[in-house]
Structure 1
């Protein structure tokens, strides 16, 4: 029986997850299809009911459904509960839908691939949305010393204290400041930081602000690592600014593939073929960028 793994989100047509997940399934001879299910907000409960079918292995969940997926799942692990969101659902043999969050592992492994050590470092995080919660958990797991979160609405960033401080792991010292590059608190934090992470959608291709960066080049320092969770384009305006200042740019493709690889492991019980997944992801991005250039010509 051919089984199915779904991607739940709205919209999902832009996602390259089907490309690299299907490539991994095919490479290991797993008789399964990875399908994108465009799921408007009101249809999430029905979509989760469909996942209970024995022909389904589970699902990835992307924006805007990660919070609701956690709420509607039958069970959840400590990572998903701590983050307050689920990006992966695993259908168990009894039909139970178990929620977890592999974004945390995705952040950690992407930074490890880039040889970025977290132990004892100071970090600046731009943005305080759902992706930021996974970043905070990853930094805490990695032993970062302190984190400054810069957000246009500092009140929203205060909610990240629970991810940074609650639970059994050693707490992560967290400060909040306005996203104002002219102000002292953010400038001082950037001067101390070994790593700057961008977690908003600014600079995303086809997004409302695809030419924007939250930080100009003068905010970065030579040798600093700059990590953008946005994966398309591969070189975002944020990364261009960082590179112009001599900082080391790290794109978001690694996080995307690594979180997907961890989900693959949970659905199939198999070791994900990372090289195959990265190759397929890069090919899908290149094809999309080529199509975009043709449409403009």
Structure 2
């Protein structure tokens, strides 16, 4: 049996095990996927321990994606993004990032055009980095809004090398949102157990806005509830989870997983 896993702190909320194990069963593969709580200080030992034990691969979640960059051999675009969410062990310890592809496919799969759109991205962490680079490369203009403005400005400067990107704080979000086509939350606001949190409320939105929350637990986050009040279109975080997971699955196994099976497993568990 080949083992796979997700490392994070916290990690009990992760539905990656449910999703990947459903795909392994559907394909008749002798593999299992588990969640392991690992903090930043123990990340090096955890990655090399999994490598030594013969794991097939790993995923990384909050708050390990950026720390991993200095531990693994990063492939593009992980090196450019500055964050790793997938590790493969076939040829050493190679780091990848599938978050950006997952976000793009979640949007395009919902019929949302990216090129030429104004995107307001909340957050400047590991997932935000991947999303910002991907959407800027796809032709969107990305505004990165973060509580620490300096961090948003730093990321926007990096993203500007591949596309259009600017930065702002959280004090002028209403005006920023009025000029945007797509709002994406890449922060942990609204994630279980803090389900009542949201950075943006309905009075700050407009009805032509697309609101995409990458938080998937709960599915109907407070942000998405507020968006529905405003008459905006909503996209939940399940499909980004599924699509980024499918890309990781391909990297590890060389096989295309059943995306519909993965999505069904996640939504059934959340419901």
Counterparts of 2:68 and 2:126, CA distance in 1: 13
Give the structure with higher Rg (CA).
Answer: 1
Aligned to 1:33, the other structure's residue is in SS state strand
Residue 216 of structure 1 and its aligned partner are, at CA, apart by 1.5
Is residue 2:41 matched to residue 1:42?
A: yes
Is residue 2:13 matched to residue 1:14?
A: yes
Give the alignment partner of residue 167 of structure 2, picking from 176, 193, 197: 176
**Matched residue, 2:250:** 265
Q: Which consecutive residues of structure 1, in runs of 5 or more, have no partner in the other structure?
A: 287-297
CA contact (8 A) 2:144 2:156 kept: no
Is residue 2:61 matched to residue 1:59?
A: no
Counterparts of 1:274 and 1:177, CA distance in 2: 36
Residue 54 of structure 1 and its aligned partner are, at CA, apart by 6.6
Report the number of matched residues: 271
After TM superposition, the runs of 4+ consecutive aligned structure 1 residues lying more than 3 A away are none
Aligned to 2:114, the other structure's residue is in SS state coil
Aligned to 1:193, the other structure's residue is in SS state coil
Is residue 2:179 matched to residue 1:192?
A: yes
**Matched residue, 1:293:** none
Aligned to 1:212, the other structure's residue is in SS state coil
Give the alignment partner of residue 112 of structure 2, picking from 111, 116, 137: 116
Task: Give the stretch that moved more between structures: 258-267 or 196-205.
Answer: 196-205
Aligned residues: CA RMSD: 1.5
**Matched residue, 1:31:** 30
TM-score (norm 1): 0.87
Residue 189 of structure 1 and its aligned partner are, at CA, apart by 2.5
TM-score (norm 2): 0.95
Q: Which consecutive residues of structure 2, in runs of 5 or more, have no partner in the other structure?
A: none
Residue 242 of structure 1 and its aligned partner are, at CA, apart by 0.9
Residue 140 of structure 1 and its aligned partner are, at CA, apart by 1.3
Counterparts of 1:57 and 1:215, CA distance in 2: 40
**Matched residue, 1:97:** 93
Aligned to 1:25, the other structure's residue is in SS state helix
